[in-house]
Amino acid sequence: MPQHGSRSAAVRSTPPLRQLHSLNCCPPSVCATCPCATDPPPAAPAGSRRLTLGQALLQRNDQQAAALRRRFHQAGLPVLNLLSSPGSGKTALLERLGAAMRRRGLRLAVIVGDLATDRDARRLEAAGVAAVPITTGQACHLEAAMVARALQRLPLPLERLDLLVIENVGNLVCPAAFDLGESLRVVLLSVCEGEDKPLKYPSSFHSADLVLLGKSDLAGVVGFDRAQALAHLEAVAPGAAVREVSARSVVGLEALLEWLLRPREPRGWERRGWGVVGQRGMAMGGAPNDGADRDGQARGNTQGRGARRDAEGMGYGADPGAGRGTEELGGPDRGSVG
């Protein structure tokens, strides 16, 4: 059994920030005002050696996710990673999204993660959406390796799909840390869950490119305070676009589809509207990309894969400046596209 006595003193040792300077903690332009000091770490005792590594813990997942991202990009396929609490309505939304896509002659496939059962996958299949289940057992989130294995079970090659959605395990905590090679990360928050949910789960909302306010048809019934929700999202996820949808009343779906299928620049994990910081490890220098993305206009092509191939930048990147303020789309498909 490991000795615990020697460890107790080190539990959660968190030296003050000023003693823990990392050379890459700030871009040069802000270093002058950064409170980080440049004290070197204490020397290791004699006989011991210190190996400085600076390795991302999730480097294996990051590498696998990067390989997936390259593969999706080569196939010209936009991919969403859909996160939410259990019961927010992911599967219902995807059933409706699949129907909307079919009406346009487009093909949706879904990889569905759940701890147990393949019920969601079967529901989607029954609704005419190609769906591959991942039953994780005890894993509370999906990882890139799981997605890679699931791709082998898709009934169609990636090149013949128009959109792939990875429906993550219903969980707003753990999935946030795992890159799945997606083009866009979408967090679904139903109006029944409370306006302050973004504040309670900053890590997940912070990572979102798009926040969907779902079950919008129930907003009045539950007294959903839209302005508060937007204010909280602004605080925690200022780079995310926000849209309202209702699967049940089919509100906002066509406009959402238009928005999703707009050509965008390829998304890198580091470039997801946050500019300089890598998801793992050290900050990177260079100018933020938010200016360029914010100015990017929708190239307005929703005619399917062939047309998208002709547009430059076949992948899908963050669109951080788009749709600030909820896109309220009253009535089926009459709302304007943000």
Partner 1 sequence: MHELSLMEAVREQALEQAQRHGARCIEVIHLRIGRLAGVEPEALQWAFALVMAGSLAATARLQIETVPARCHCSVCQSSFEAEAGTCRCPRCGTASNRLLQGRELELTSLEIH
| Nearer CB in complex with partner 1: 265/290 | 290
Out of 97, 124, 276, 314, point to the residue binding partner 1 (CB under 8 A). 276
Shortest distance, position 106 Cβ to partner 1, whole Å: 32
Q: How many positions of this chain bind partner 1 (CB under 8 A)? A: 69
* SS3 category, 80: strand
Q: Is 277 an interacting residue with respect to partner 1 (CB under 8 A)?
A: yes
Q: Is 199 an interacting residue with respect to partner 1 (CB under 8 A)?
A: yes
Element (DSSP H or E) covering residue 203: helix 202-206
Residues 17-76 that bind partner 1 (CB under 8 A): 17, 20, 22, 25-27, 29-30, 33-34, 41, 44, 47-60
Residues 299-328 that bind partner 1 (CB under 8 A): 320
φ and ψ at residue 281, rounded to 5 degrees: 70, -135
Residues 6+ apart with CB under 8 A from 331: 251
φ and ψ at residue 312, rounded to 5 degrees: -75, 155
Cα separation, 90 vs 171, whole angstroms:
12
Out of 113, 181, 275, 315, point to the residue binding partner 1 (CB under 8 A). 275
Element (DSSP H or E) covering residue 78: none
Q: Which stretch binds partner 1 (CB under 8 A): 86-94, 100-108, 201-209, 255-263?
A: 201-209
Shortest distance, position 296 Cβ to partner 1, whole Å: 15
Out of 102, 192, 202, 226, point to the residue binding partner 1 (CB under 8 A). 202
How many residues would you count in the chain? Answer: 338
Cα separation, 325 vs 323, whole angstroms:
6
Tokens representing 170 are: 């219903």
Residues 140-179 that bind partner 1 (CB under 8 A): 140-141, 173-174, 176-177
